[in-house]
Amino acid sequence: MSLNTDFMVKVAQTAIQGVPVTLQIVLVALVIAFPIGILFALIRIYRVKGLQRLVQFYVSLVRGTPIIAQILIVYSAFPSLLNMIIGRAAFAINPIYYAYIVFTLNAIATLTEVFRSALQTVDKGQMEAGLMVGMQPRQTFWRIILPQALISALPNIANTTLYLIKNSSLAFIMSVKDITAIAKTEAAFNYNFLEAYLVVWVYYLIICYAAEVVFYLLERYFSKYRRPIKKTSGFNWLPFGIKQPKLERKQS
C-alpha cells in the first residue's frame, strides 16, 4: 500500500489545531447539559405535572433522530431566528456557537436518562435515614443522594462523553474548523483523503482513550466508599474501555 506519509505528517501538524476546538465543543456541551440533565431527571422521577411529559417528549425526540438531522435543523433554523432578534449580525456569528447549541441539546437528553437511572439506583432508605436524623429532604438530596447518584453515573457519563467526542466530528457540516474539517480541507488539495482520515482517526482514538483514562481515574477516586478495604481493582489496560457500565447497587 502506498500511503503518502509526508502528507500524513503534514496533516497531523495542521489538524492538531482542531483538537482544542473539538475539546471545547465537548466541554461546553457537558458543562451546560450537566445541571439541566439533573433537573430534567428530577422532573421525570418526581413526575412533575406538565413538565414531565415535555421532558419525556424531548428526550425521545433527541434520542430518536440522527445527530445530522439535529445539526441541519439547528443550522438552518437558528440563524433566521437570531436574525429576527439581533438583525444581520446573526449571520456573522462564529459557527462554533451552533455546534455548542446542537451538542448541548443532545447531551441534555442523554444525561437526563443517565441521571434518571442513577438517581433511581440510590436506595430510598438513604432519604429516610436523612429525614430521621432531622435533615430536610432538600439537604438530604444534595448531601447524600446526589453524590451517590453521580458516582454511580460515572461510567454512563463517560459513555456520553465518548458519544459527544465522536459526534463532534460532524461539526464540520456547520463549517466549524475542528479536526475533521481541517483534515478534509488539506486532503481536498490533491485527493489524499485516505491519509487525512487515517490521521484524524488516530486523533479521535487518542482523545477517546484519554477521556476514558480520565473517567477511570475519577471513578477510582470518587468511589472509594464503595470499595471494600484493601481489595483494589487494577486498571484493565489491554482491552481498555470495554468495561460495561455497571450500575451496581449496594444491597445491604
Partner 1 sequence: MLTIEGLKKSYAGNDILKGISIDVNKGDVISIIGPSGSGKTTLLRTMTTLEEADGGHLTFAGVDKDFEKLTGKEVNTIRRNVGFVFQNYNLFNNKTALQNITEGLIVARKVKKSEAEKIALKALERVGLTDRKNHYPSQLSGGQQQRVGIARAIALNPEVIFFDEPTSALDPELVGEVLKVMQDLASSGTTMVVVTHQMSFARDVSNRVIFMADGHIVEQGAPKAIFEKPSEQRTKKFLTDILANV
Partner 2 sequence: MENIKLIINFLGQLLPAINITLIVSVSSIILGSLLGLLLAAARLSESVVLRVLASVYVSVVRATPAIIMIFVVYYGMPMLFNDWFHTNIDGWNRMYFVIIALTVLFSAPVSEIMRSAYESIAKGQMEAGLMVGMTPFQTLYRIILPQAFVVALPNFANSVINLLKEGALTFTIGVVDMVAKAQMIVANNSGGYAWQTYCALALIYWVISLAIDKGVSQVEKSYQAKRKTIAV
Summarize as ranges the residues that interact with partner 2 (CB under 8 A): 1-2, 60-61, 63-70, 72-73, 76-77, 162, 165-167, 169-170, 180, 193-194, 197-198, 200-201, 204-205, 208-209, 212, 238-242, 244
Q: Which of partner 2, partner 1, none interacts with 129 (beta carbon under 5 to 8 A by kind)? A: partner 1
CB of 40 to partner 1, least distance (A): 23
Nearest to 159 by CA among 107, 121, 87: 107
Return the residues of window 182-241 that contact partner 1 according to CB under 8 A: 224-229
Q: Which of partner 1, partner 2, none interacts with 214 (beta carbon under 5 to 8 A by kind)? A: none
Return the residues of window 105-124 that contact partner 1 according to CB under 8 A: 123
State the binding string over 125-164 for partner 1 (x if CB under 8 A, else -): xx-xxxxxxxxx--x---xx--xx--x-------------
The answer to the question of residue 6 lying near partner 1 (CB under 8 A) is no
3-state SS record for the chain:
CCCCHHHHHHHHHHHCCHHHHHHHHHHHHHHHHHHHHHHHHHHHHCCCCCHHHHHHHHHHHHHHCCHHHHHHHHHHHHHHHHHHHHHHHHHHCCCHHHHHHHHHHHHHHHHHHHHHHHHHHCCHHHHHHHHHCCCCHHHHHHHHHHHHHHHHHHHHHHHHHHHHHHHHHHHHHHCCCCHHHHHHHHHHHHCCHHHHHHHHHHHHHHHHHHHHHHHHHHHHHHHHHHCCCCCCCCCCCCCCCCCCCCCCCCCC
Q: Which of partner 1, partner 2, none interacts with 128 (beta carbon under 5 to 8 A by kind)? A: partner 1
Residue 152 or 180 having the CB closest to partner 1: 152
Q: Phi, psi at residue 178, to the nearest 5°?
A: -95, -170
Q: Which of partner 2, partner 1, none interacts with 34 (beta carbon under 5 to 8 A by kind)? A: none
State the binding string over 64-103 for partner 1 (x if CB under 8 A, else -): ----------------------------------------
Nearest to 172 by CA among 159, 191, 185, 160: 185
The answer to the question of residue 46 lying near partner 1 (CB under 8 A) is no
CB of 24 to partner 1, least distance (A): 32
Residues near partner 1 (CB under 8 A) are 123, 125-126, 128-136, 139, 143-144, 147-148, 151, 224-229, 250, 252
